[in-house]
Amino acid sequence: MQLEQVLFTQGFGTRHECRGLIVNGRVSVNNEILRDPYQEVQTADLIFCVDGTPWPYLEKAIVALNKPAGYECSRKPIHHPSVLSLLPAPLRNRGVQPVGRLDEDTTGLLILTDDGVLLHRLTHPKRHVSKTYRVGVKHVMTESMLQKLLEGVFLAGENQPVAATHVQLIEERIFEMSITQGKYHQVKRMVAAVGNRVHSLHRVAFGKFSLPDTLPSSRWCFINKEDLL
Calculate ∠ Cα 128-97-103, nearest 5°.
Answer: 70
Q: Is 51 noted as a catalytic residue in this protein?
A: no
Checking DSSP bridges between strand 209-210 and strand 220-222, what pairing results, if any? unpaired
Kindly name the residue from 103, 105, 115, 227 that is annotated as catalytic. Answer: 103
Q: Are strands 198-206 and 107-113 parallel, antiparallel or unpaired?
A: parallel
Please identify every residue annotated as catalytic: 103
